[in-house]
Amino acid sequence: MSQDHHMESALAGAVWRASSYSGGQGNCVEVADNIPTLAGAAWRISTYSGGQGECVEVADNIPSVIPVRDSKLPTGPVITFTPHAWRTFIAHLG
């Protein structure tokens, strides 16, 4: 099964809306406010966070998607990566 299919499955049931940051000119960014898959996310502080209160949290217990959020805004927005994209991103940090 492809990474894209896994991501689509992980986002099934999400409620999408146009971002408040979109300009309304047809080039909108959509965000999901409620992603059922993330209900079971086990969040942890990323090992790449500096420990000075500017932390990124990651949940790596969901096989089909890697969600990332700001630790200061636990109910705020979440960006999601496919596992392959996340590994590629992490590989380039070191």
In DSSP terms, 67 is beta-bridged to 80
What's the mean pLDDT in 9-37?
Answer: 66
Residue appearing with tokens 């999400």? 14
| Residue 48 CA to its chain's centroid (Å) | 16
Helix (H) or strand (E) holding 66: strand 66-70
Considering the entire predicted model, what is its pTM?
A: 0.65
Q: Structure tokens of 88?
A: 């590629």
Q: Structure tokens of 57?
A: 């949290």
User: pLDDT tens digits for 49-78?
Assistant: 766 767 888 898 888 888 888 888 888 888
